């Protein structure tokens, strides 16, 4: 008979688990929101809760509230992994992971100070990630807490996180405040809480909706799911994805602008709503629902089939006044005998098309026109339940080459009207469009004469994804230059670099918004040089993208090495930016590698009106080499 012996293993989690939870769970803004959620949950019944978020660059983030505070049992439960509040009504912090993972996501040192109302002491818990992990005597069951004397009338909790993993720049702080205006807007508007971020009060930010379009939604299905809230039509179609449904659970915003029960299609880009999902599980970090779960899919199906949702989707798909304005241009009263195009400048035409977004432009002659950001070639013809459509790619090199793209739309309309009924001709048109694209692309981005550079990707690697993102989100000319192109050839390696992007005058705000949405860079729009120096000294991890506006921007989105070096020279020498003196020394290496020539450098310098200074600088370089 075989003998069996029962053994046991020690399943105590490794102390690095806390750090790993922080790495896996949150973006910085979500982590701060988790601490704010906890503060709101702790407010005293019948009183307006006050929550303050203090941000000190790369030094410290603090969230303070005047709520109930915690006794020793409550503090122990808050700091214990999995020690959540269960299924308490009106609370979302039931998994017991939020406080620990949120603070770990933000920084390495945490200090929690808490006091209940009435006489007594305050409790202080301090945690240093490095010390805790390296100290073999420290464990899960012996976390130290101090009890200190405190003022009798004070109560609430203060969570301070330092030795941060991030830098909260002024622009990032402003975005966080605006985001909290969306996230906590209903609670602020109802007077249940007061919330400040970086010393300024948060104000509710609500979508601008068309009058008479707001409809109440209430859905209850056989799976025990209840959905209640509202849906409406935005006044302006969003081309940045800021449409859809805010999904809440237990009164907290879990998923903003979710494409919940609606198509991710331009026709839905004016649909907006806000609903509470009951009995639909959220993930342990409270940053989303279990989208693949049966309950979420059941809720989405029931929401989609709601009469209020279907009616609102129909209304959202109607044309915008901007699309109607373009329709008048494409269908003049005396068409087809005479075409009179309006005298619109390049900027005005681009603004008009940008305001259309991805609206359908209905035409009286031939297929309707829809603009999109992406696709192959200049345009294609599609057939669907609405009939034939001309889908025009706004990011096409051909489209971008036209100073007034409205003129091009008239040509495309006439072109497609002739060939849309012949499948074989339609295929030939697609081939022709592809050839146009290659030809214009080659003209706009000529290959350098030096054969060694023909396959050189001039843009610094980390900016390639950002460049693609800007092309999709920003419909005006821009150009990466200076260190954006030259950083690879620096003689020294930098942890932080300030890249430069040029924008057309008046489009800097739009470009800054596109870069901010990308999320990997801090941005500065037209900074003074003291401001740039200060920011450069404060940023800990992220590189900076500096945006400068000029009246004229070349068509190429990436400057050549020659132009980039001259632009850098202007930044450094003409503006007396001492921080970057060393960067100019790369010119010798660039000349030796045939990346630039003195003739081309002087030609660009003449355009920038610094040819005398550049000539003297090159002479100095020759004399010292």
Residue 622: pLDDT above 70? no
- Write out pLDDT tens, residues 358-391: 556 666 666 777 777 666 678 888 776 667 788 8
Highest-confidence range of 10-19, 193-202, 323-332, 415-424, by mean pLDDT? Answer: 193-202
Residue 547: pLDDT above 80? yes
Query: Residue 596: pLDDT band by 50, 70, 90 thresholds?
Result: confident
pLDDT, residue 443, reads: 61
pLDDT, residue 87, reads: 45
Q: Say how far apart CA 570 and CA 608 lie, in whole Å.
A: 8
Region 80-106 average pLDDT:
62
Region 192-212 average pLDDT:
90
- Write out pLDDT tens, residues 403-438: 667 777 778 877 777 776 777 777 777 777 777 777
* HSE-CB of 93 using CA atoms within 13 angstroms: 26
pLDDT, residue 455, reads: 33
pLDDT, residue 241, reads: 67
Place of tokens 């237990």: 250
Residue 95: pLDDT above 60? no
Give the residue, 191 or 242, on which the prediction is more confident: 191
Query: Residue 492: pLDDT band by 50, 70, 90 thresholds?
Result: very low
* CATH 3.30.565.10 residue window(s) in the chain: 17-201
91 Rama class: left (phi>0) / alpha (psi -120 to 50) / beta = beta
Highest-confidence range of 226-235, 323-332, 419-428, by mean pLDDT? Answer: 226-235
Lowest mean pLDDT among 55-64, 74-83, 483-492, 508-517: 483-492
- CA-only gyration radius of the chain, Å: 29
Query: Residue 142: pLDDT band by 50, 70, 90 thresholds?
Result: confident
Q: Say how far apart CA 37 and CA 584 lie, in whole Å.
A: 49
pLDDT, residue 218, reads: 94
Answer yes or no: are the C-beta atoms of 274 and 248 closer than 8 Å. yes
What percent of the chain has a predicted confidence (pLDDT) above 90? Answer: 16
pLDDT, residue 97, reads: 62
Residue 285: pLDDT above 70? no
Give the residue, 518 or 96, on which the prediction is more confident: 518
Question: Which listed CATH number (3.30.230.10, 3.40.190.10, 3.40.50.2300, 3.40.50.720) goes with 215-316?
Answer: 3.30.230.10
Q: Say how far apart CA 578 and CA 564 lie, in whole Å.
A: 18
Please tell me the total number of residues recorded for the chain in this structure: 625
Residue 484: pLDDT above 50? yes
Answer whether the bond into residue 486 is a cis peptide, omega within 30°: no
Give the residue, 178 or 449, on which the prediction is more confident: 178
Give the residue, 419 or 481, on which the prediction is more confident: 481
Q: Indicate the SS3 state at residue 28.
A: helix
Q: What are phi and psi of 472, to 5 degrees?
A: -80, -35
pLDDT, residue 88, reads: 47
Nearest-CA neighbor of 58 among 79, 28, 38? 28
Highest-confidence range of 27-36, 105-114, 129-138, 314-323, by mean pLDDT? Answer: 105-114
Nearest-CA neighbor of 450 among 557, 568, 597? 597
* CATH 3.30.230.10 residue window(s) in the chain: 215-316
Region 4-16 average pLDDT:
75
Region 162-179 average pLDDT:
84
Token duo for residue 295: 């309950």
Query: Residue 572: pLDDT band by 50, 70, 90 thresholds?
Result: confident
Highest-confidence range of 13-17, 437-441, 467-471, by mean pLDDT? Answer: 467-471
pLDDT, residue 444, reads: 55
Residue 491: pLDDT above 70? no
What percent of the chain has a predicted confidence (pLDDT) above 70? Answer: 75
Query: Residue 345: pLDDT band by 50, 70, 90 thresholds?
Result: low
Query: Residue 51: pLDDT band by 50, 70, 90 thresholds?
Result: very high
pLDDT, residue 352, reads: 59
Q: Indicate the SS3 state at residue 280.
A: coil
Residue 90: pLDDT above 50? no
pLDDT, residue 36, reads: 92
Q: Which residues of 68-105 are buried (b: 16+ CB within 10 A; e: fewer)?
A: bbbeeebbebbbebeebeeeeeebbbbbbbbbbbbbbb
Other CB atoms within 10 Å distance of the CB of residue 607: 10
Residue 540: pLDDT above 60? no
Token duo for residue 306: 């709601």
pLDDT, residue 337, reads: 42
Mean pLDDT of the chain: 78
pLDDT, residue 89, reads: 45
pLDDT, residue 253, reads: 84
Answer yes or no: are the C-beta atoms of 555 and 444 closer than 8 Å. yes
Give the pTM: 0.54
Region 514-540 average pLDDT:
74
User: What residues does 282 pair with on adjacent strands?
Assistant: 289
Residue 593: pLDDT above 80? no
pLDDT, residue 453, reads: 41
Q: Kindly indicate whether the domain formed by 17-201 is annotated with CATH number 3.30.565.10.
A: yes
């Amino acid at each position: 008979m075989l003998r069996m012996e029962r053994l046991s293993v020690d399943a105590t989690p490794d102390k690095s688990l806390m750090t790993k939870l922080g790495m896996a769970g949150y973006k910085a803004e979500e982590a701060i929101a988790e601490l704010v959620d906890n503060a709101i949950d702790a407010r005293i019944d019948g009183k307006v809760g006050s929550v303050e978020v203090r941000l000190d660059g790369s030094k410290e983030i603090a969230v303070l509230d005047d709520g109930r505070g915690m006794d020793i049992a409550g503090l122990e439960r808050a700091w214990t992994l999995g020690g959540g509040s269960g299924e308490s009504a009106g609370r979302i912090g039931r998994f017991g992971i939020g406080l620990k993972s949120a603070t770990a996501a933000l920084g390495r040192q945490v200090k929690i100070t808490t006091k209940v109302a009435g006489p007594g002491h305050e409790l202080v818990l301090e945690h240093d990630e490095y010390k805790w992990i390296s100290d073999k005597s420290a464990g899960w069951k012996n976390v130290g807490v101090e009890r200190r004397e405190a003022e009798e009338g004070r109560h609430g909790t203060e969570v301070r996180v330092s030795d941060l993993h991030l830098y909260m720049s002024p622009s990032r702080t402003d975005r966080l405040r605006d985001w909290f205006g969306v996230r906590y807007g209903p609670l602020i508007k109802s007077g249940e809480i007061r919330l400040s971020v970086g010393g300024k009060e948060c104000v509710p930010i609500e979508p601008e909706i068309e009058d008479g379009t707001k409809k109440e939604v209430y859905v209850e299905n056989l799976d025990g799911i209840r959905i209640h809230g509202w849906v409406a039509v935005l006044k302006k179609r969003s081309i940045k994805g800021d449409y859809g449904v805010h999904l809440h659970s237990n009164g907290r915003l879990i998923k903003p602008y979710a494409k919940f029960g609606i198509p991710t299609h331009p026709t839905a880009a004016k649909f907006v709503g806000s609903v509470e999902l009951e009995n639909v599980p959220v993930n342990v970090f409270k940053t989303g629902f279990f989208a693949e779960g049966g309950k979420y899919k059941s809720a989405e199906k029931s929401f989609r089939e709601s009469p209020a949702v279907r009616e609102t989707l129909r209304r959202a798909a109607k044309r915008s006044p901007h699309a109607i304005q373009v329709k008048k241009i494409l269908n003049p009263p005396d068409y087809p005998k005479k075409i009179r195009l309006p005298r619109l400048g390049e900027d005005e035409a681009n603004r008009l098309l940008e305001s259309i977004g991805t609206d359908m432009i209905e035409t009286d002659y031939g297929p309707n026109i829809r603009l999109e950001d992406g696709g192959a070639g200049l345009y294609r013809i599609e057939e669907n339940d609405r009939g034939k459509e001309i889908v025009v790619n706004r990011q096409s090199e051909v489209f971008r080459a036209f100073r007034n793209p409205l003129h091009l739309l008239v040509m495309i309309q006439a072109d497609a009207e002739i060939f849309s009924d012949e499948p074989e001709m339609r295929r030939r048109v697609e081939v022709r469009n592809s050839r146009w694209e290659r030809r214009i692309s080659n003209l706009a981005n000529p290959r350098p004469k030096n054969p060694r550079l023909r396959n050189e990707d001039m843009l610094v690697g980390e900016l390639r994804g950002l460049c693609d993102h800007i092309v999709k989100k920003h419909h005006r000319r821009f150009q990466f230059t200076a260190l954006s192109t030259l950083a690879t050839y620096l003689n020294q390696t930098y942890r932080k670099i300030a890249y430069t992007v040029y924008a057309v005058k008046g489009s800097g705000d739009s470009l800054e918004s596109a870069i901010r949405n990308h999320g990997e860079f801090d941005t500065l729009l037209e900074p003074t040089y003291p401001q740039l120096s200060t920011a450069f000294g404060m940023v800990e991890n992220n590189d900076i993208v500096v945006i400068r506006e000029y009246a004229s921007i070349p068509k190429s989105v990436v400057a050549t090495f020659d132009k980039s070096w001259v632009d850098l020279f202007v930044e450094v020498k003409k503006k007396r930016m001492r921080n970057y003196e060393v960067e100019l020394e790369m010119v010798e290496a660039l000349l030796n590698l045939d990346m630039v020539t003195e003739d081309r450098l002087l030609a660009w310098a003449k355009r920038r009106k610094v040819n005398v200074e550049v000539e003297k600088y090159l002479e100095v370089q020759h004399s010292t080499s």
